[in-house]
Amino acid sequence: MTNEDLLKQVTAKAQLWLSDSYDTDTQQQVQKMLAADDKTELIESFYKDLEFGTGGLRGIMGAGSNRMNIYTVGAATQGLANYLKEAFNDLNQIKVVVGHDVRNNSRLFAETVANIFSANGIKVYLFEGPRPTPEVSYAIRHLGCQSGVNITASHNPKEYNGYKAYWDDGAQVISPHDVNIIDYVNRISSVDEIKFKGNPELIETIGDKIDAEYIEEIHTLSLSPEVDARQHDLKIVYTPIHGTGRYMLPRSISRWGFDNIIHVPEQDVMSGDFPTVDSPNPENPSAMAMAIKKAEEVDADIVLASDPDADRIGVVIKNTKGKYALLNGNQIQIIFLYYLMVRNAELGKIKGDEYIVKTIVTTETIRKIADKQNIKMFDCYTGFKWIAMVMREMEGKGRYLGGGEESYGFLPEVFVRDKDSVSSIPLMCEIAAWAKDKGMTMNDMLIEIYKTYGYSKELGISVVRKGKSGAEEIVAMMKNYRENPMKEIAGSKVITIKDFQNLEQKDILTGDITKLEMPTTSNVLQYFTQDGTKVSIRPSGTEPKIKFYIEVHDTLDSAENYDAKNEWAQAKLDLIAKDLGIA
């Protein structure tokens, strides 16, 4: 398609948004784009429809078919409502939960969703204000609902918003419901098909009661209450980074007995503008800078953060030089799962049916810990819906200890089916207290894990490519990696290639090809080398980027060699990034 043809297509599409079916403000925004000399915004807003994918919607807010607004949100909800009425046609009353985060327009979108569901005869439990994403999952299960929607764009920049759809188990939808919902959403061909006028009698506001019940259930996860009591004055700096964790996390931490929670007042302000950070992502050092400064002022034991919808977490501890340093997502998973496996064993709670879950791009060090502890480990695709699928399949067959992914998400309980900072953060406080009770710092504990189970260091690199041309470039990059596979990485021969798009594993040394046992295909490519290096490549399903996950492995013979080992590993990671052409 030529640029001229594309412009004609988007112009015709945009002109449909000038009808009286759309509100005045939307019409004015579209008219402004049509009149502008630079047609970039017009093209980006209308060159395609914002796709309702397997996780829902996510996009930049604004007018247009490729933007988050009440009409794209409305079409998604009408399609979901239509599908729910078919899937649960044996129920007298279908029920859903609707929640939202602090982002601009989140309340508007949540109320729009609630109105459309109720207009379709569906009972709605609408949270009174911003709540963590995992609490929406909890409420779906707790209230016996068939579905739920949370309006959030997680840790994305402020111009984004999103729409997460959940099923009756409190997990994000998977097959067959995901593709069926997409089909029903795609059937909505006109804004006039969307029932915007709600039925107030079917909308019930929820809040404090669910909050209290959720926090009480989370407290049942504590494995060391006596340690928590002894270390009650552990110095904990916590920041919600302007998000929904503002009220729930301090309450949850306090319920575990910790009474020395130190706030970052500027970031306690709940705001969709995220005024103190460029991006509200706790995995970015810049987002944690204010909390680290506060920690330095008070000599904190640990620094913790949640992202805007309070599902992901950030953790900062003192390193061997006494400086505060951000743990990466893999280290967070290692610490959580090590504690849960070892502490359960200490308490005599390991009966033989326990299991943990990680994603395929998360460090293989976790596998080594699980093997030595005789705990079954499952590998699944990136995204908590896949962890939740394993949990669903294992119900009645085994006891879930915990599961997580390198992207700073962890879930230590079964009464929620999404990553959960409201439970993970007090658990991490308990781990810090447990280490301190043994005369160790968190850094000492991490080094001890590496000495016992093997050292690893990881690096995640995201290459951002925005817009239509960026999406095409990402497709071309994946095609090139498949058609021209790497033969060696940083001087070590590639011995195994796993391609989850065709579910094949190739042994390079023998040429043997075996089938990968996964529930479906996924656009992920992995390389494994002779020296234990692992490289995973996948396009993001929610953001305009392609992600590279690199990990290197070695032994660690002593704590004194830890810093030197880190320097060696970082140099190797940098070399691998150069080999991949992304340094």
Q: Are residues 32 and 68 in the same domain?
A: no
* Domain end position, chosen among 430, 453, 476: 453
| Domain with 33 in it | 1-38
Q: Are residues 411 and 543 in the same domain?
A: no
CATH number at residue 138: 3.40.120.10
Q: Are residues 90 and 227 in the same domain?
A: no
Q: Are residues 506 and 413 in the same domain?
A: no
Q: Are residues 549 and 506 in the same domain?
A: yes
The total number of structural domains in the chain stands at 4
43 falls within a domain: no
CA distance 443 to 317: 7
Q: Are residues 311 and 281 in the same domain?
A: yes
Q: Are residues 140 and 225 in the same domain?
A: no
Q: Are residues 288 and 332 in the same domain?
A: yes
- Is position 154 annotated as part of the catalytic site? yes
Residue 239 phi/psi, 5-degree rounding, is -130, 135
Give the pLDDT confidence score for residue 1 in this predicted structure: 61
Which of these, 27, 75, 67, lies nearest to 48 by C-alpha position? 67
Give the pLDDT confidence score for residue 542 in this predicted structure: 64
- On whether the CB atoms of residues 146 and 153 are closer than 8 A, the answer is no
Q: Are residues 492 and 363 in the same domain?
A: no
The amino acid that residue 400 corresponds to is Y
The DSSP string of 207-243 is -HHHHHHHHHHHHTT-S-HHHHHHTTT--EEEE-TTS
Give the pLDDT confidence score for residue 53 in this predicted structure: 79
CA distance 149 to 166: 6
- The whole-number mean pLDDT for each consecutive block of 10 residues of the chain, a chain of 583 residues, reads 85 96 97 95 93 86 97 97 98 98 98 98 98 98 98 93 97 91 93 97 98 98 98 98 97 98 98 96 95 98 98 97 97 98 97 97 97 97 95 97 96 98 98 98 98 96 84 90 93 97 96 96 96 94 84 97 97 94 85
Q: Are residues 167 and 18 in the same domain?
A: no
28 falls within a domain: yes
Is the dihedral angle over the CA atoms 555, 440, 411, 384 positive or is it negative?
negative
Q: Are residues 526 and 398 in the same domain?
A: no
Q: Are residues 63 and 122 in the same domain?
A: yes
Q: Which of 65, 106, 154, 421 is labelled catalytic?
A: 154
CATH number at residue 523: 3.30.310
CA distance 119 to 125: 14
